[in-house]
Amino acid sequence: MKLDLSLIDSNLFHEWQLFILLRKDEKWFTTKEIQTELGISSSLTLKIISQLEEDLSTFYSGHEIVLQTNKGKGFRLSIEGTAVKIRQFLIYLVENTITFQLFLALLDEDYQNAESFSLRMYTSDATIRRVTNKLRDGLKPYSVEITKGNSTLVGKETHVRLLINIIFWKIYGGAIWPFATVNEKHIHRLAQFMINDTDVLLTPIQMRQLEFFIAIGIIRRRHGHFVEKEDWWDTVTHRNPVFDRFQKKVRSWPTNTLEKNSPEMIFLYFMLLIQSENISTFKLLEENYIFNKAQNTALYQSTHAFSNSLSVGTLIQELHPAIIFSFSYHLFAKLFPAFTTDLNGYPYFNRLNAPTPNNYLSNTKKVIQKLIKHLYRTTSDSLFLSETYLTSKYGLLFLHYQLHYDFEPQIKLKLATDLTYFANKHIEKTICSFFLESFNIVFLDDFSPEEPDILLTNLDYGEYPASQNTIIIQRTLSSRNINYIGQQLSKIHDEKTSTSK
């Protein structure tokens, strides 16, 4: 399940979707276009347009972003410069909602009852009860509940912390420190201390993400909420040299409160493994993987089964980065079966299910889903029940290492122009930059006897059949050219896929 702003406020969700839509393109959008794109009623469309205009004028007092209106054209955003701070506008919108203020009160555990909180928010206690019930329903799918009476966040503690992390990171993105009860500078020094003189090299953004997670853990423990160890955790960490070095480092911090081999220590280590998905930390991840292989842990066995499925007909070897990183994917799926996004709340499933074209890597998606079902049948490991999450993560691996070409039908293109060799190559390069991750395309040379699926030409001259798959292009590809090529690729992909069934 995807976490989005609808959990906070449905009108805010639509307002932010409108902002994203208008920001995406400099063109004018009519009211009807906005209504269709957002899938809402005409009255709600007018309401959120008015609200967005008001919020923009209030927040951007210097007119950095202005909603322009024109009776004949519609609406569009005027944005001054490229460094306008968008994240702060999102924070401003979210922090002004009752739901988010309620969530903060639940996190800090200073919520007493609906009546007292309604006085703080200048609203009715009936509104607070309604908002609380909506938030309660929204958190249930993640195994997180709001208790009645004293109203605190409870549930499986690992899930509670991940949920809090996702909500805070998606809203604040590290731009502002949102934890008023935790010293930001202290947490920054602690995070730096944890990775100094280690094999871990984090980017500034990854450091900030680690600081958020440490702060959330501190807040939860202050209120008596502790992580409980699961049966399989010791198999991954007992006598693991990577984990031993990690906890030795953490425990040497002067004010450390995490005990050796404690569930809290292990959970923090797991979060580091999951977060550290980059080449600079590959040595650490590889050493951890080699240990799990030596111990033949269940996580290794499941990752090895995935590795075997990739090794057939490819150059993917067991210690290939794709396999090492997949261990972290499997660790996440094992820890958080209720979540379909990554550690920061980002879903990548749309990379295999994009709106344009509709069949974007549809065959690869089906192959991956079939693979996951097969892995669950053969391993009986519950982590493979996290199909949506794993489909998106495996999909990124398939794209990066170009494994998707084995499953998508090949579409042949040919250029027939009066341009020079390098001008034609530039056109090929441009088309590939748009579509190579979407389709299995190949360009035929000038004298190839093969019949192309799509002929691209800037002329009406030549011995070429005038078919629906001949596209007249401009010497410099226009947006219209690109869009039409995409439509034809999508159409041909569908035809070839249905024929091969």
pLDDT in tens, 167-183: 999 999 999 999 999 99
Neighbouring residues of 204: CB distance < 8 A, sequence distance ≥ 6: none
Say what the pLDDT of residue 426 is. Answer: 94
pLDDT tens digits, residue range 198-223?
A: 767 788 888 999 999 999 999 999 99
Dihedral angle computed from the Cα positions of residues 399, 401, 404 and 405, in that order, rounded to the nearest 10 degrees: 130
Mean pLDDT, residues 282-300: 93
| Residue 109: both structure tokens together | 């555990």
Q: Which domains does the chain have, with CATH numbers?
A: 5-85 (1.10.10.10), 178-403 (no CATH), 409-500 (3.40.50.2300)
In angstroms, the CA 438 to CA 485 distance is 12
DSSP 8-state symbol, 452? P
Say what the pLDDT of residue 363 is. Answer: 77
Say what the pLDDT of residue 300 is. Answer: 96
Mean pLDDT, residues 21-28: 89
| Three-state DSSP class for residue 444 | strand
Angle between helices 10-24 and 87-95 (to 10 degrees): 160
Cβ neighbours of 355 (radius 10 Å): 7
| Residue 188: both structure tokens together | 């920054």
Mean pLDDT, residues 122-146: 92
Measure CA 339 to chain center.
12
Mean pLDDT, residues 343-350: 69
- Phi, psi (degrees; rounded to nearest 5) at 428: -60, -45
Say what the pLDDT of residue 281 is. Answer: 75
Q: Which residue type is seen at 127?
A: T
pLDDT category at 365 given cuts 50, 70, 90 is: confident
In angstroms, the CA 441 to CA 413 distance is 7
Say what the pLDDT of residue 360 is. Answer: 55
DSSP 8-state symbol, 185? H
Residue 92 has pLDDT above 80, yes or no: yes
pLDDT category at 461 given cuts 50, 70, 90 is: low
Is there a contact between 185 and 18 (Cβ–Cβ < 8 Å)? no
Burial class (CB in 10 A: 0-12, 13-18, 19+), 138: middle
Cβ neighbours of 312 (radius 10 Å): 8
Say what the pLDDT of residue 464 is. Answer: 58
Closest CA to 419 of 485, 477, 475: 475
Say what the pLDDT of residue 31 is. Answer: 94
In angstroms, the CA 7 to CA 167 distance is 10
pLDDT category at 342 given cuts 50, 70, 90 is: confident
In angstroms, the CA 22 to CA 29 distance is 8
Say what the pLDDT of residue 318 is. Answer: 67
Say what the pLDDT of residue 322 is. Answer: 82
pLDDT category at 165 given cuts 50, 70, 90 is: very high
In angstroms, the CA 77 to CA 65 distance is 7
Say what the pLDDT of residue 91 is. Answer: 94
DSSP 8-state symbol, 6? G
Say what the pLDDT of residue 498 is. Answer: 80
Between 198 and 7, name the one with better pLDDT.
7
- Phi, psi (degrees; rounded to nearest 5) at 9: -165, 125
Is there a contact between 28 and 54 (Cβ–Cβ < 8 Å)? no
E strand or H helix at 440 = strand 440-444
Closest CA to 330 of 280, 255, 385, 290: 385
Is there a contact between 176 and 241 (Cβ–Cβ < 8 Å)? no
Mean pLDDT, residues 383-403: 86
Mean pLDDT, residues 433-457: 89
Residue 358 has pLDDT above 60, yes or no: no
Mean pLDDT, residues 408-430: 92
Percentage of the chain beyond pLDDT 70 is 92
Strands 153-155 and 144-146: what pairing? antiparallel
In angstroms, the CA 201 to CA 186 distance is 20
E strand or H helix at 145 = strand 144-146
- Phi, psi (degrees; rounded to nearest 5) at 228: -105, 140
Say what the pLDDT of residue 463 is. Answer: 60
**Which stretches of 297-455 are DSSP H helices?**
298-311, 321-335, 362-379, 387-400, 421-435
Dihedral angle computed from the Cα positions of residues 33, 39, 44 and 48, in that order, rounded to the nearest 10 degrees: -70
Residue 353 has pLDDT above 60, yes or no: no
Burial class (CB in 10 A: 0-12, 13-18, 19+), 13: middle
Strands 440-444 and 470-472: what pairing? unpaired
Say what the pLDDT of residue 196 is. Answer: 84
